[in-house]
Amino acid sequence: MMITVTVNGQAHTRDVEPRMLLVHFLRDELRLTGTHWGCDTSNCGVCVVHLDGTPVKSCSVLAVMADGHEVTTVEGLERDGELDTVQKGFVECHGLQCGFCTPGMMLTARWLLDRDPDPSEAEIREAISGQLCRCTGYENIVRSVRWAAESEAAS
Amino acid sequence: MQVPARFEYERASSVGHALMLLERLGPEARVVAGGHSLIPMMKLRLAQPEALVDINDLAELSHLAVEGDELVVGALVRHARLLADAEAGRLFPILHDAERVIADPVVRNRGTVGGSLCQADPSEDLSAAFSALRATAVIQGPGGARTVPIREFHTGPYETAVEPGELLTELRVPIRPGSGSAYQKVERRVGDWPVAAAGAVLVIHDGVIAEAGIGLTAVGAAHFAAPEAEESLIGQVPGEEAYARAGALAAAHCEPQSDQRGPADYKRHLVGELVRRALARAAERAGRGGLR
Ligand SMILES: Cc1cc2nc3c(=O)[nH]c(=O)nc-3n(C[C@H](O)[C@H](O)[C@H](O)COP(=O)(O)OP(=O)(O)OC[C@H]3O[C@@H](n4cnc5c(N)ncnc54)[C@H](O)[C@@H]3O)c2cc1C
Ligand code: FES
Ligand code: FES
């Protein structure tokens, strides 16, 4: 079935089987491997992307369901060669170690800050509560998001 | 890698179109809403529909508003939207209590109220909440719409009154002046399905309990309800004694099973305790002026 999905602002048309999951469409068809693929059971959140501006777990969305819709992946966070503030926060505050959870964490963080520019630590933890990190113990992820919030408030 | 078996995909553009597609594709076709129960089941090949009818474009199923003396919740209302809706939370705090502990924020962005009820998982949280509220389900089929009281909606585990070829379109929740409500859940970790959970709705008039609704989930309660406990409350003065008695009755009449979430006797204990706490909280909210 022919579908057209706008990913990071660019329309992509492909012929896919209805059973193809959005995560595999992004990784295998478009070679956008920044979206990771982990538990495959909608629990870990490494596959989070924005669908029409809202974070969803792309291992549990069919690519055909995204036909005619807009997807943003981690590759779409930077603008004109400049990292998004959230990405800078992860750099500044050592928000990652292995990096497996990071794309999903950053996309959820971006969405959170767009809705609430000054989230508390508890609100940040709640927002990422469906996403697992095996490395950082979450402390530095929370710090990274706070760094981004403060940096955006200051600018 | 988990991949569903092959199926045909159609996207519906209206309720009428969805019903037409379901009729054309036959009894092996399934509706897909958020897909967050169905797609994981298809990936595990626990479900192998021949066709999916995607209803995500049906704005007509996304309404969430007070109509007359009812709150009307469209089947396609996402968990996140219900949780963010101030009016729904003011009228029925039980819905916000429950939504806050269903899955996680990202899953809540996608999963729908209708999908939750139609999935009819015996551990579904909203089934218990709507059972406590004595909501009414509206089901649309080729012959028109019909209404089903929520306590007749679930016909068994993973089975509902929605026949092949039909759609659940909305839930209607009666607004009761003088009422308060609450939901209490114990889960193993944040975002998990309940070990046990209880919802309570109380209507208090002139210092006595005039109406009581108690919903239970994950503990084998028929229709997600606790009728014996509800009856024991009618005409009583709200207070710890009445709540504890209701909790004990609810615990005695449900049928929890031992599984990876815990042994049956522990779940039974939880029912008594959670019913008691939910009732106390509901009464407190009713007392604070409750609803109008
Ligand atoms: C990680 C995770 C954790 C979760 N934790 C919880 C939890 O703690 N508590 C809880 O209660 N739930 C939990 N859920 C389930 C979640 O609430 C789902 O959103 C819900 O079960 C299904 O909603 P959906 O819109 O995704 O339905 P879908 O998966 O699209 O559909 C489910 C079923 O309902 C049918 N259906 C859907 N809509 C209609 C309709 N309008 N008319 C007729 N049939 C319809 C489908 O054909 C299918 O059979 C969890 C899910 C996940 C992935
Ligand atoms: S791979 Fe999607 S949630 Fe884990
Ligand atoms: S940085 Fe390794 S999983 Fe989060």
Ligand 2 atom having least distance to the Cα of A59 = 2
Name the residue type at position A130: G
In a domain, residue B254? The reply is yes
Beta strands across the sheet bearing B8-11? B8-11, B51-54, B29-32
Question: How far apart, in whole angstroms, are the C-alpha atoms of residue B132 and residue A97?
Answer: 46
Question: Are B63 and B150 found together in one domain?
Answer: yes
DSSP sequence for B228-264? HHHHHHTTPPPSHHHHHHHHHHHHHH-----BTTB-H
Question: Are B212 and B163 found together in one domain?
Answer: no
Question: Are B131 and B102 found together in one domain?
Answer: yes
| Strand bridging mode B167-174 / B136-141 | antiparallel
Question: How far apart, in whole angstroms, are the C-alpha atoms of residue B249 and residue B230?
Answer: 9
**CB atoms < 10 A from the CB of B90, how many?**
11
Asked which of A118-122, A133-137, B184-188, B288-292 is least confident by mean pLDDT, the reply is B288-292
User: Residue B50 sits in a domain of what CATH number?
Assistant: 3.30.43.10
Q: What is the largest CA-CA distance in chain B?
A: 61
Question: Are B170 and B89 found together in one domain?
Answer: yes
- Nearest CA to B220 out of B171, B276, B163, B270 is that of B270
**CB atoms < 10 A from the CB of A11, how many?**
10
B145 touches chain A (CB under 8 A): no
Question: How far apart, in whole angstroms, are the C-alpha atoms of residue B145 and residue B167?
Answer: 9
Question: Are B114 and B145 found together in one domain?
Answer: yes
Question: Are B159 and B184 found together in one domain?
Answer: no
> Domain count of chain B?
3
Residue where a domain stops, chosen among B174, B189, B221 = B174
Q: How far is the CA of A141 from the centre of ligand 3 (A)?
A: 10
Which residues are bridge partners to A6 per DSSP? A11, A70
In a domain, residue B1? The reply is no
> Using the beta-carbon criterion (under 8 Å), do A130 and B8 form an inter-chain contact?
no
Structure confidence at residue A142 as a pLDDT band (50, 70, 90) = very high
Question: Are B36 and B134 found together in one domain?
Answer: no
- Which domains are present in chain A? 2-76 (3.10.20.30), 85-154 (1.10.150.120)
In a domain, residue B292? The reply is no
CA-proximal residue: ligand 2, atom 3 (nearest): A42
Mean residue pLDDT across chain A: 97
pLDDT at B1: 84
In a domain, residue B24? The reply is yes
Residue among A27, A33, A35, A40 to mutate when testing ligand 2 (max atoms within 8 A of CB): A40
For the question of an ipTM over 0.85, the answer is yes
Four-point Cα dihedral B105, B106, B112, B115, nearest 10: -110
Ligand 1 atom having least distance to the Cα of B40 = 53
In a domain, residue B3? The reply is no
> Using the beta-carbon criterion (under 8 Å), do B104 and A60 form an inter-chain contact?
no
Residue where a domain stops, chosen among B138, B153, B174 = B174
User: Residue B132 sits in a domain of what CATH number?
Assistant: 3.30.465.10
pLDDT at B287: 83
pLDDT tens for each residue of chain B, 292 residues long: 889 999 999 999 999 999 999 999 999 999 999 999 999 999 999 999 999 999 999 999 999 999 999 999 999 999 999 999 999 999 999 999 999 999 999 999 999 999 999 999 999 999 999 999 999 999 999 999 999 999 999 999 999 999 999 999 999 999 999 899 999 999 999 889 999 999 999 999 999 999 999 999 999 999 999 999 999 999 999 999 999 999 999 999 999 999 999 999 999 999 999 999 999 999 999 987 555 4
pLDDT at B108: 98
Question: How far apart, in whole angstroms, are the C-alpha atoms of residue B173 and residue B150?
Answer: 10
What are the backbone angles phi and psi of residue A62, rounded to the nearest 5°? -80, 145
In a domain, residue B252? The reply is yes
- CA A149 vs CA A87, A98, A121, A131, B39: distances in Å: 12, 24, 11, 20, 35
> Using the beta-carbon criterion (under 8 Å), do B105 and A127 form an inter-chain contact?
yes
Ligand nearest to the CA of B105: 1
> Using the beta-carbon criterion (under 8 Å), do B40 and A60 form an inter-chain contact?
yes
Question: Are B91 and B160 found together in one domain?
Answer: yes
Question: Are B276 and B225 found together in one domain?
Answer: yes
Query: Mind telling me how many Å the CA of B211 is from chain A's nearest CA?
Result: 35
- Nearest CA to B109 out of A58, A21, A121, A64 is that of A58
pLDDT at B228: 98
Question: Are B186 and B262 found together in one domain?
Answer: yes
pLDDT at A70: 98
Tell me if B197 sits within 8 A of B174, measured CB to CB: no
- Nearest CA to B166 out of B149, B191, B143, B193 is that of B143
> Residues of B124-141 as b/e, b for ≥16 C-beta within 10 angstroms?
bbbbbbbbbbbbbbbbbb
User: Residue B207 sits in a domain of what CATH number?
Assistant: 3.30.390.50
Question: Are B159 and B64 found together in one domain?
Answer: yes
pTM of the model: 0.97
Question: How far apart, in whole angstroms, are the C-alpha atoms of residue B222 and residue B122?
Answer: 10
In a domain, residue B216? The reply is yes
Name the residue type at position B63: H
Which residues are bridge partners to B170 per DSSP? B74, B138
Tell me if B232 sits within 8 A of B253, measured CB to CB: no
Question: Are B184 and B266 found together in one domain?
Answer: yes
Question: How far apart, in whole angstroms, are the C-alpha atoms of residue B170 and residue B62?
Answer: 9
Q: What is the pLDDT of residues A21-75, one digit of tens each?
A: 999 999 999 999 999 999 999 999 999 999 999 999 999 999 999 999 999 999 9
pLDDT at B252: 98
Element (H, E) at A2: strand A2-7
In a domain, residue B86? The reply is yes
B109 contact residues in A (CB cutoff 8 A): 54-56
CA-proximal residue: ligand 3, atom 4 (nearest): A133
Residue where a domain stops, chosen among B54, B69, B92 = B54
**CB atoms < 10 A from the CB of A81, how many?**
5
Whether A98 lines ligand 3, by a CB cut-off of 6 Å, is yes
Which residues constitute the domain of residue B128? Answer: 59-174
| Strand bridging mode B136-141 / B144-149 | antiparallel
